[in-house]
Amino acid sequence: MPFIQVKTNQKISAAQAEDIKSQLGKAITAIPGKSEDWLMVGLEGDAQLWFRGTDEPAAMVTVSIYGAASGNALSTLTSHITGILLDALGIPTDRIYVSYSATENWGWNGTNF
C-alpha cells in the first residue's frame, strides 16, 4: 500500500506522466513486498516551488508506506526516484527532496489493514 506523491515546478505532459507512473511502479519493488499492484501515484506539475531561493527545476517527493522498510531499500528507492525525474523531466538529482513516512495504520475498502 505505498503512495508516491511528486510535486514539481515543471510542466508534466500526459506522456511524461504515464512514463513516470510506469517507472515508479517498477522502482517501488526496491522495498520488499511492495509492487505496482497496490501503488498509488500522484503527480502535480507546474507547482509554485522554490529550492535554494530559485525556481529552477525542482521536485518534492513524498513516499508513504504501510509497514516499515530498511534504510538500504529506501536509499535504493531514492536513487530510482531521482533518476526517473532526471530522465523524464530534466530535474537535477541535487534539486529533489524525497521524504518517507511509514505507518501501521492504513485504510482501504472501508476498513484498516
- Is pLDDT above 90 for 38? yes
Beta strand segments in 56-95, E: 59-66
Mean pLDDT of 64-71: 96
Give the pLDDT band of residue 77 (cuts 50, 70, 90). very high
C-alpha cell at 109: 475498502
State the average pLDDT for the chain: 97
Measured CA to CA, the distance from residue 46 to residue 32 in angstroms comes to 33
pLDDT at 1: 86
Give the position of cell 513486498. 33
Answer positive or negative: Cα dihedral of 10, 91, 26, 37: negative
Per cent of the chain over pLDDT 90 is: 98
- Is pLDDT above 90 for 73? yes
The domain 3-105 belongs to what CATH superfamily?
A: Macrophage Migration Inhibitory Factor (3.30.429.10)
